[in-house]
Structure 1
Amino acid sequence: MFNRKTCLAFCAGLALLGQALLAHADLPDFTSLVEKASPAVVNISTKQNVPVRSASAQMPDLEGLPPIFREFFERSIPQAPGGRGQQREAQSLGSGFIISDDGYILTNNHVVADADEIIVRLPDRSELEAKLIGADPRTDVAVLKVEGKGLPTVKLGDSSKLKVGEWVLAIGSPFGFDHTVTSGIVSATGRNLPNDSYVPFIQTDVAINPGNSGGPLFNLGGEVVGINSQIFTRSGGFMGLSFAIPIDVAMDVAEQLRATGKVNRGWLGVVIQEVNKDLAESFGLERPAGALVAQVLDGGPAAKGGLRVGDVILSLNGKPIVMSADLPHLVGSLKPGSKAKMEVVRDGDRKTLNVAIGALPEEGEEVAASGSGPAKSSNRLGVKVTELTAEQKRNLDLQGGVVITEVMDGPAAMIGLRPGDVITHLNNQAINSASTFGKVAEQLPKNRSVSMRVLRQGRASFITFKLAE
């Protein structure tokens, strides 16, 4: 017989079962999507001639390993002395997807970089040799071409419509296992990664591993919304953080590569930094936001458009700049020669500037960045400074500023200033002489964030500090 406790337990169990069934019913069914999309997803293998390694090294048996591991061991074994000129073949694996029925394929640049031969394997296991049409290391996008007609293609989506929390699915060849399917959700959009200034990445928790690179990321509508490109890992394997290049960015790059073989990007000609809480207070901002201009490159678009050191850029063509890293990819997406409207804060006031966007210099091109008196000291800051010589001003492209000759105990030492650092601005005022520096330093407010612009080895940045009572 059921007693009261048994009945309650039974009802609770039914409720939990019902919730589980309802939750299961809400889970997406990817089978139809995979059936339609898989034929256009390809495996990409490359061959590259690499130097022969020492035969005397303890050589593991590599033949039974997947190519991706075999290449790792080959590159790790020391090269034999006098072995120059001798080469052997190394292989690597990746993924890609067909975007046109006449054989154009998208993948990652790092999948095909430095390859001597590129082989594309289709789902029917037929293999085609691919030609590299163009590659862009800055976005890690590459376009390949195989000979064919009526090839299956993917459906392209709109990555700007992606929402955090929606389901996404990846198809690729992790560790050489063709057409592996993994799923997850969008964890974030517009994610900025170190050394990747021109891509607002899509972050997901989709399992991505070596060999997935270059493969497509699909939404539930079966549309490609990104190219799987990177993972964050401490172990070498998947740890729950994967990053995809938005398809909007990738297709803009691909179209330019197909048309001209290179990518033209907008360029502003500034060095920027993040606006933290103290800098925001120093510049009279309500909250930390925007991109602080730490340096204006001489003769660049920003200099010609009236942008100044110390300006905080809040928006570009109506799009807000929340983090400083938002600015490079917004500027990079603009066409050289186009006009950009920027809202900036200067000396506490909001201004609108119209700047003609320039063309980003090619990688490797250099861009120029924008008699000593007796040493003076400010007891409040604890530094001795001297005026820049005419030659120093010319080399640094400066109109004024002072150079630190000695750092004593005090605020300067605490914030990490060093002899040789050049101070060009203090408390939002330009420093054109040692006497100006002394006057401004003596009038610094107490218990409030104060900004200072410092050049160290030609690199400019703003720092903040507070003077106690």
Structure 2
Amino acid sequence: MWMAGISLMFVFAAALASTARAAPESFAELAETISPSVVNITTSTTVAGRTGPQGIVPEGSPFEDFFREFQDRNGQGNRPRRSSALGSGFVISEDGFIVTNNHVIEGADEILIEFFEGFELPAELIGTDPNTDIALLKVEADRPLKFVNFGDSDTARVGDWVMAMGNPLGQGFSVSAGIVSQRGRALSGAYDDYIQTDAAINRGNSGGPLFNMDGEVIGVNTAILSPNGGSIGIGFSMASNVVTRVIDQLQEFGETRRGWLGVRIQDVTDEIAEAIGLEEAAGALVTDVPPGPGREAGIEAGDVIMTFDGVDVADTRGLVRQVGETNVGKTVRVVVMRDGQTQTIAVTLGRRETAEAAVPAAQPGDAPDVPEELETLGMTLMPVTDELREQLELSAGAEGLVVTDVEETSAAFEKGLRAGDLITEAGQEKVAGIEDFTAQVDAAKEAGRKSLLLLVRRAGDPRFVALSLEE
């Protein structure tokens, strides 16, 4: 038995070894293959001259005039100066299209591309997308340029070998290798889908490619996490499947054209799911539907978007990305959960870039002026009055219950409710007065709910809060 156990362990270990991909003996062949398509980028920007000796003497100092005269004698007065910056990029077509980061070329007057073979060419900016930090450049060469292809970033696995190449700290055409540390990282943008890697990425690597072992670009090196500005093995590359969609639009239109559903949303928490009767915390909860495609199609505040264009919605981040990646003008099927039942709504998407910064808040009708108060669930509530509208700078048509006080030891306070908040819905029903609110509390308790879903507005911005009914 003992020998049989040893044999079984040996076979199991051998099986594990056979499934693991061996570390490459060398990256030299890959580096030689892809190097000619990677470029160094130098930008030049005109910076306005100084208006005085800032940084030399304090403003108002008796020495200020002396140092100003010294600067003028040496030609350093208000003369504009040239500032340069370094970055990386890579060629994606033989006719000279080049990908880099938007922050590498942002505000540049001149863009100069240095190729691995040693020649330089000026570049024209075709278009940028600040949301994904991607820019597309074009150079005119007298011969076909060597280029690289994009790979499928969705097939990259945690632990796969990757190689980065670029212009770190101005050293030029430098290679580093590591593995995929994690997938699907988000930093700050709505469309973020970063590959995290421990391949060394430093200043100047921005805009350079992250290669898989087949020599395909699976990411654009964009950012690092570091306490000192240098690589500590936490770098981020925007996934190629995001980049390729952006590049296609920049090539065709010179700008991005993202789909727009026209709803405000928030994630479904466990408490919200329980409050509205969902089996699991999934989907995207609609908090507001301003004028736009969603309202025209019939989506309502309180709907939970479960699927979009045939794809399950896990959370708000996933929905925003999927909507943005869908063609403007396409009619899609949106499945929502409303009042415990699913409904399918056909929505024709608008364009986000056109609608952005022009989305007004929803404005319900007039509220009755009933100056009575209700103390419940750790809050003091009062219907909207003309005086409260003026104090809180509410719209003329705002209706609901104003939170006038919140007990600091209450669950309401822990959930972020504060004096001045406006509750417009309770239990997914509009509330115009005290009776409406108490009726929804009673209905939730009779239904065996442990919490009540509130739609709360602060400075016009809506959000849902699931408030416990257990006092």
TM over 0.5: yes
2:431 alignment partner in structure 1: 431
1:69 alignment partner in structure 2: none
Determine whether 1:263 maps to 2:259.
Answer: no
Give the superposition deviation at 1:364: 6.7
Determine whether 1:353 maps to 2:353.
Answer: no
Specify which of 217, 223, 227 is matched with residue 234 of structure 1.
227
Give the superposition deviation at 1:442: 4.7
1:420 alignment partner in structure 2: 420
Q: Matched residues, percent identical? A: 38
Determine whether 1:319 maps to 2:316.
Answer: no
- What are the within-5 Å matches in structure 2 for residues 201-240 of structure 1? 201-240=194-233
Give the superposition deviation at 1:85: 4.9
1:11 alignment partner in structure 2: none
User: In the TM superposition, what whole-angstrom CA distance separates every residue of 1:383-437 from its partner, at most 9, and x where no partner exists?
Assistant: 1211366996996596742222344575544533223211112133322333212
Q: Flag the 1:398–1:304 CA change in 2: closer, same or farther, 3 A.
A: farther
Q: Is the 8 A contact 1:388 1:402 kept in 2?
A: no
Determine whether 1:143 maps to 2:136.
Answer: yes
Q: Is the 8 A contact 1:388 1:403 kept in 2?
A: no
Determine whether 1:335 maps to 2:327.
Answer: yes
1:405 alignment partner in structure 2: 404
Q: Is the 8 A contact 1:369 1:397 kept in 2?
A: no
User: In the TM superposition, what whole-angstrom CA distance separates every residue of 1:426-462 from its partner, at most 9, and x where no partner exists?
Assistant: 1333223332123323555388132211000111111
Give the superposition deviation at 1:57: 3.4
Q: Flag the 1:124–1:131 CA change in 2: closer, same or farther, 3 A.
A: same
1:190 alignment partner in structure 2: 184
Give the superposition deviation at 1:303: 1.1
1:76 alignment partner in structure 2: none
Q: Flag the 1:246–1:46 CA change in 2: closer, same or farther, 3 A.
A: same
User: In the TM superposition, what whole-angstrom CA distance separates every residue of 1:36-75 from its partner, at most 9, and x where no partner exists?
Assistant: 101000000111112335656359xxxxxxxxxxxxxxxx
Farther-moved stretch of structure 1 (342-351 vs 177-186) = 342-351
Determine whether 1:110 maps to 2:106.
Answer: no
**How many residue pairs align between the two structures?**
428
The 2-side partners of 1:448 and 1:42 are apart by 60
The 2-side partners of 1:391 and 1:331 are apart by 38
Farther-moved stretch of structure 1 (431-440 vs 145-154) = 431-440
Specify which of 461, 464, 468 is matched with residue 463 of structure 2.
461
The secondary structure found in structure 2 opposite 1:280 is: helix
TM-score of the two chains, using structure 2 as the length reference: 0.82
Q: Which amino acid aligns with 2:272?
A: L
Q: Is the 8 A contact 2:275 2:449 kept in 1?
A: no
Q: Flag the 1:398–1:331 CA change in 2: closer, same or farther, 3 A.
A: farther
User: In the TM superposition, what whole-angstrom CA distance separates every residue of 1:2-21 from its partner, at most 9, and x where no partner exists?
Assistant: xxxxxxxxxxxxxxxx9xx9
2:238 alignment partner in structure 1: 245
- What are the within-5 Å matches in structure 2 for residues 169-188 of structure 1? 169-188=163-182
Determine whether 1:153 maps to 2:147.
Answer: yes
Give the superposition deviation at 1:202: 2.2
Q: Flag the 1:301–1:411 CA change in 2: closer, same or farther, 3 A.
A: same
Q: Is the 8 A contact 1:317 1:341 kept in 2?
A: yes
Q: Which amino acid aligns with 2:169?
A: F
1:13 alignment partner in structure 2: none
The 2-side partners of 1:398 and 1:166 are apart by 57
The secondary structure found in structure 2 opposite 1:329 is: helix
The 2-side partners of 1:51 and 1:363 are apart by 34
The secondary structure found in structure 1 opposite 2:333 is: strand
Q: Is the 8 A contact 2:274 2:449 kept in 1?
A: no
The 2-side partners of 1:448 and 1:84 are apart by 70
2:22 alignment partner in structure 1: 26
Q: Flag the 1:458–1:239 CA change in 2: closer, same or farther, 3 A.
A: farther
Determine whether 1:451 maps to 2:453.
Answer: yes
1:168 alignment partner in structure 2: 162
Q: Is the 8 A contact 1:411 1:467 kept in 2?
A: no
The 2-side partners of 1:235 and 1:295 are apart by 42
User: In the TM superposition, what whole-angstrom CA distance separates every residue of 1:187-206 from its partner, at most 9, and x where no partner exists?
Assistant: 33333332x11232222232
Give the superposition deviation at 1:118: 0.7
The 2-side partners of 1:271 and 1:289 are apart by 16
The secondary structure found in structure 2 opposite 1:461 is: strand
The 2-side partners of 1:382 and 1:464 are apart by 14
Give the superposition deviation at 1:128: 1.3
Structure 1 segments unaligned to the other structure (5+ residues): 1-17, 60-79
Farther-moved stretch of structure 1 (415-424 vs 210-219) = 415-424
Farther-moved stretch of structure 1 (180-189 vs 164-173) = 180-189
Q: Is the 8 A contact 2:381 2:401 kept in 1?
A: no
The 2-side partners of 1:293 and 1:397 are apart by 24
Q: Is the 8 A contact 2:149 2:217 kept in 1?
A: yes
1:51 alignment partner in structure 2: 48
Q: Which amino acid aligns with 2:329?
A: G
Give the superposition deviation at 1:184: 2.0
Q: Which amino acid aligns with 1:172?
A: G
Structure 1 vs Structure 2 CA RMSD: 3.2
Q: Which amino acid aligns with 2:315?
A: M
Farther-moved stretch of structure 1 (361-370 vs 148-157) = 361-370
Q: Flag the 1:385–1:24 CA change in 2: closer, same or farther, 3 A.
A: closer
Give the superposition deviation at 1:159: 2.1
The 1-side partners of 2:232 and 2:279 are apart by 37
Q: Which amino acid aligns with 2:469?
A: L
Q: Which amino acid aligns with 1:187?
A: S
Q: Which amino acid aligns with 2:121?
A: L
Specify which of 373, 382, 387 is matched with residue 385 of structure 1.
382
The 2-side partners of 1:447 and 1:91 are apart by 62
The 1-side partners of 2:202 and 2:396 are apart by 47
2:80 alignment partner in structure 1: 87
